[in-house]
Structure 1
Amino acid sequence: MSAQGSPKITLIRSVNEQPILRHSESEGVSADVVTSDKMSVFSRLHSLRGKVRLFGHFFHAQFLLLAVVEYLSFVSVYLFVSPLLDTTRLSSPLAQRWPEAAFAGMILVLAIASMGLYDARQREGIKGALIRLMVACLSGLLAMILLDALFSLFTTDAAYIGEFVLLAIVYSIGLRIYFYKFVDGNVLQRRVLVVGAGRRAASIDKLRRKTDQRGFELVGYVRTSPDEPVQVGNHKLLDIDDDIRHFAVEHQIDEIVIAPDDRRRRLPLEGLIDCRMSGISITDLLDFFERETEKIRLDLIQPSWLIYAEGFKRNILRSVAKRAFDILISSVMLLICAPLMALTALAILLEGKGRGPVLYRQERVGRDGRCFNLYKFRSMRADAEKDGVARWAQPNDSRITRVGSCIRKYRLDELPQLWNIFVSDMSLVGPRPERPEFVEQLSKVNALYKERHRVTPGLAGWAQVCYPYGASRKDSMEKLQYDLYYVKNHGLLFDFYILVQTAEIIFFKKGVR
């Protein structure tokens, strides 16, 4: 015991001689005695750690901070640094230049986001990140020059915009080197305590990649009872003498995750209520995984969770706005892409020497289970399924033609689906529509597969952003977890975020088969 009677952690030995952390109190000190300083610090900061929910989606606080710092820095560079290269530009009033600076900074931030550089799933090292940063800034520069040529958004010339982007690249490289070395995975993490030590709780321990653990720091596990089977490492097992609130506040726990294998086991309800009333978050295991992995774990899902979970909502205004956005973008894209679509059709005709259709029509399952005809440019031989049996596409599929391989690589085969979007069979964003034969098979594997059809299928989707191309039952079940996440949390701004992220897939040819 310490001289002043403060709580402490000691090591005890379990039955298999592995050390277990044990928390105990000094005699005469109540567990309710907690310093107000720790409580005030905790209550002010815990909601800013880990992942932050915005517009139905979860973003890492670290990357949100990076985006805000970069945006403000880009605006400052445009206003105060770039003019130093040509002092005559300082004569224009600040009030005239700041809207341009705000717009230029936003274009660069969106370009960087489109390369996945604010995405926690980005697993490339600093070299790969810098390459993506260069590509993002170049595309941002081209976008600004094009928009300025069309709408005269800037009072400066193209040379000034180029100088601004060059300075922004230099600054952003230095900032990101510092970020990846000192900030990423080191600050703004939630300290998490898990109630439960069985199979369900052990699933958290399997998140071993840095990308999966960016948002939290696992403090340890607490057994619900002495006879609960243990499937977590004993070095992470805690014995806190039934005083969970005092331990949580003393060790600055931000969140307690409830993860017993058997819901009928006795939980420390009084202590958990005390923690909740003290401002500590209490989270169900499935909600924890939804936030940290951005998908809904099929192996942990329970019917009661589906009934009571937030989300899965329908909003008439959101639906009308989304439909209007689909009509606007699909009609504009059909006009812009018309020459490219004509060249693609010509290439298919020349390769096939005029034999075989240019467009491939295939029945797919849409919203509420209704079927529709999906259109694509034909990328396989005309006799690819001459026996009438539906097959998954395979790696290096021999049925794919040379032109087909090229248009698949850059997603050009999907362009005719803009018509499906225009006539409301599809949306710009949503779960990818699947063939009726596969839907029937996959619904037998997991009954939740049909829940994908609660929303309109899309040209781009959350599963395509998060998961590489897959064409098997196993891959479909993995993608279903991301599709359910989208169905639960979909919204206009989340759709926009998915569209921005899709640029990375097209440019770097991720998931192409």
Structure 2
Amino acid sequence: MIRLFKHYIPHAVMLLGLFDLALLIVAGEVAWIARATQIGTDPGHIGDRLDMLALFAGIVWLAMIAVGTYGSEALRSMRYAGARLLVAVSLGIIALSVIDFVLPGHTFWRSTLFYAMFIAIGLLIANRMLVGTVIGTSAFRRRVLVLGAGERAKRVRELADRQGSGFAVVSFIAMNEGSQVLEEAIPRAAIHDLGRFVENIGASEVILALEERRNSLPLKDLLRIKTMGVHVNEFSSFVERETGRVDLDTLNPSWLIFSDGFSSGRMLSSAAKRVFDVAASGLLLALTLPIIVIFAILVKLDSKGPAFFRQTRIGLYGQEIQLVKLRSMRTDAEKDGAKWAQKDDPRVTRLGKFIRKVRIDELPQVWTVLKGQMSFVGPRPEVPQFVTDLEDKLPFYAERHMVKPGITGWAQINYPYGASVEDARAKLEYDLYYAKNYTPFLDLLILLQTLRVVLWPEGAR
């Protein structure tokens, strides 16, 4: 994987994305020449329109990231990828048409964009069929050696067996650490020279998946392997990198303390985040105020009660904040206390089902962002009753409050809506990853991917 601003991106995804970007530039150029030839105009030199080509490719590429064309499912299914590509290119063309209307001359003619849309879709689908198939083969997967034969080693094998996995396990070695779960593991005693064995099988990474390290950690062997240029990784760090979440089952305070993350350099990032929150929330409030007013009236007409719902939530450092949303439930929904949302929740009103599905009920939260109590990106703020309960049941739950809560977040785009302690545990693993690895780049990825969640709201309740 490639680490970009503390966030890992699979080599296959990076390679496919760079090919896509190049093909979008080609599509823009071919469309320009085709349109110019059709109307009998000299297309001119390509250098005169490099800025327009870059704008075209960049906007469409961002739309592709936003709708999930580089997600694991899109890399596995051509049907899924094709649907996402159609939506992404269409959204990109619409955005470019708006830019051309507002700022004439800064992008292609709208007639040229029409040509570019179909050419881009054709090239991108062909890229998926050719390059996408090739990068999914074992030739592009890292060769990993696992030290261990217990439950942790078994989890590494399960990760490797997933479709779209970026690595393949070439061997498991039982390190005499206790019970052996994987029968195919080679006993350590059967290998005379571990360093030479790693070299012979061509492993590029060694994973320490030991259940118990005492008297089983081969320090001399690991030192030699490291000096040979082979990457040595600890199990928790490996799982974090491969899954985009912190594994609570193996997490211990010492790893959290000594691993990379929670850097002091985030002060500048936090200042930039606040500037973005103020500018974006002010603009968004101005643009969406008519929508909020219209749906506030509709909520009043649809069911008895106030248009807005106010609730106390837990924010930064465990402080209480007041959350404002458009009301989507009956006024007596929490007469017996706060409850987890359910599928087809009977407490949700008729209009409430719609505004939840398209996230319109979240728009008033932008005011909380403008006040500085929330951010656009961060862990979901929970009610105090849930927080108290979850802090007793889930380790490290309080650490998610070390960053501002957000309207959207890493957990929200990677995991369906949580409605149980088990769901809260899974989402906590993503929240801890965000708190540990926060950068403006990760915020940008989350904001782009939020469009995918809005367009395909699989987890909305």
Q: Same fold (TM over 0.5)?
A: yes
Give the match for residue 509 of structure 1: 457
Aligned pair partner of 1:169 in 86, 103, 121? 121
Give the match for residue 397 of structure 2: 449
Aligned pair partner of 1:487 in 413, 435, 438? 435
Give the match for residue 82 of structure 2: 130
* Matched AA of 2:223: I
The 5 A counterparts of 1:348-359 are 348-352=299-303, 355-359=304-308
State the distance in 2 between where 1:128 and 1:239 align. Answer: 48
What is the CA-CA distance between 1:155 and the residue it aligns to? Answer: 5.3
**3-state secondary structure, aligned to 2:138:** coil
Aligned pair partner of 2:13 in 63, 74, 81? 63
* Matched AA of 2:112: Y
The 5 A counterparts of 1:28-427 are 51-80=1-30, 82-87=32-37, 88-120=40-72, 122=74, 125-152=77-104, 154=106, 156-207=108-159, 210-211=162-163, 214-225=165-176, 228-234=178-184, 241-314=191-264, 315-352=266-303, 355-387=304-336, 389-427=337-375
Q: How big is each residue's C-alpha offset from its partner over 1:133-183, in whole Å with a ceiling of 9 and x where there is no partner?
A: 111111111011012212235353200011112101111111112234332
State the distance in 2 between where 1:235 and 1:194 align. Answer: 9
State the distance in 1 between where 2:107 and 2:374 align. Answer: 40
State the distance in 2 between where 1:153 and 1:124 align. Answer: 39
Larger Rg: 1
Structure 1 residue ranges (4+ consecutive) displaced by more than 4 angstroms after TM superposition: 121-124, 235-240
Q: 1:357 to 1:498 in 2, by over 3 A?
A: same
**3-state secondary structure, aligned to 2:232:** strand
Q: 1:383 to 1:239 in 2, by over 3 A?
A: same
Q: 1:92 to 1:214 in 2, by over 3 A?
A: same
**3-state secondary structure, aligned to 1:128:** helix
State the distance in 2 between where 1:414 and 1:209 align. Answer: 38
The 5 A counterparts of 1:455-470 are 455-470=403-418
More deviation, 104-113/119-128:
119-128
**3-state secondary structure, aligned to 1:288:** helix
State the distance in 2 between where 1:89 and 1:243 align. Answer: 71
State the distance in 2 between where 1:108 and 1:240 align. Answer: 55
What is the alpha-carbon root mean square deviation over aligned residues? 1.8
**3-state secondary structure, aligned to 1:127:** helix
The percentage of counterpart residues that share the same residue type is: 35
Q: Return 5+ residue gaps in structure 2 as ranges.
A: none
Q: 1:371 to 1:247 in 2, by over 3 A?
A: same
**3-state secondary structure, aligned to 2:354:** helix
* Matched AA of 2:85: L
**3-state secondary structure, aligned to 2:140:** coil
What is the CA-CA distance between 1:470 and the residue it aligns to? Answer: 1.4
* Matched AA of 1:259: A
* Matched AA of 2:295: T
Q: Return 5+ residue gaps in structure 1 as ranges.
A: 1-50
State the distance in 1 between where 2:419 and 2:42 align. Answer: 57
Q: Do the aligned residues in 2 keep the contact of 1:220 with 1:238 (CA within 8 Å)?
A: no
**3-state secondary structure, aligned to 1:234:** coil
The answer to which structure has the higher helix fraction is 2
What is the CA-CA distance between 1:307 and the residue it aligns to? Answer: 1.3
Q: How big is each residue's C-alpha offset from its partner over 1:278-330, in whole Å with a ceiling of 9 and x where there is no partner?
A: 11000000001001111111001112101101001242211110000000111
Q: 1:474 to 1:242 in 2, by over 3 A?
A: same
State the distance in 2 between where 1:236 and 1:512 align. Answer: 47
State the distance in 2 between where 1:236 and 1:503 align. Answer: 47
TM-score (norm 2): 0.95
Q: Do the aligned residues in 2 keep the contact of 1:52 with 1:61 (CA within 8 Å)?
A: yes
State the distance in 1 between where 2:58 and 2:213 align. Answer: 48
* Matched AA of 2:456: F
**3-state secondary structure, aligned to 2:171:** strand
TM-score (norm 1): 0.86
